[in-house]
Amino acid sequence: MSETTITFRVDATLKFEFAQAAKAHDRVSEQLLRDFMRDFIQQQKAVTQYDDWFHSQVQTGLNSANAGDLINAEEVEAEAAAWRDEMQKKLAGTTS
């Protein structure tokens, strides 16, 4: 892999304190910055993957709704009520 140089300006105090903090952990500033860049890229990839998944889920729901594949409110409430009853029984069993 070829390497390139990045040059940017920072406050002298920030540079000094960063170098001291890096040295205290037996690291060099440049390596920490490379690590930060790699971590940032991974975080952004994770965000993008989640966004893609989320949009896919929303589109699946929209497609389902547009096809008329819906659950009416009464059925949803009945399932929720059954779930609440089950949870209340479980909680009552753990507190006694």
Q: Residue 49 CB: number of other CB atoms within 10 A?
A: 10
Q: What are phi and psi for residue 72, nearest 5 degrees?
A: -75, 160
Predicted confidence (pLDDT) at residue 28 exceeds the cutoff of 90: yes
The pLDDT confidence band at residue 94, using thresholds 50, 70 and 90, is: confident
For 31-45, the pLDDT digits (tens) are 999 999 999 999 999
Residue tagged 């209340």 (tokens):
88
Predicted confidence (pLDDT) at residue 8 exceeds the cutoff of 70: yes
Six-digit token string for 88: 């209340």
Residue 26: predicted pLDDT: 96
Residue 1: predicted pLDDT: 77
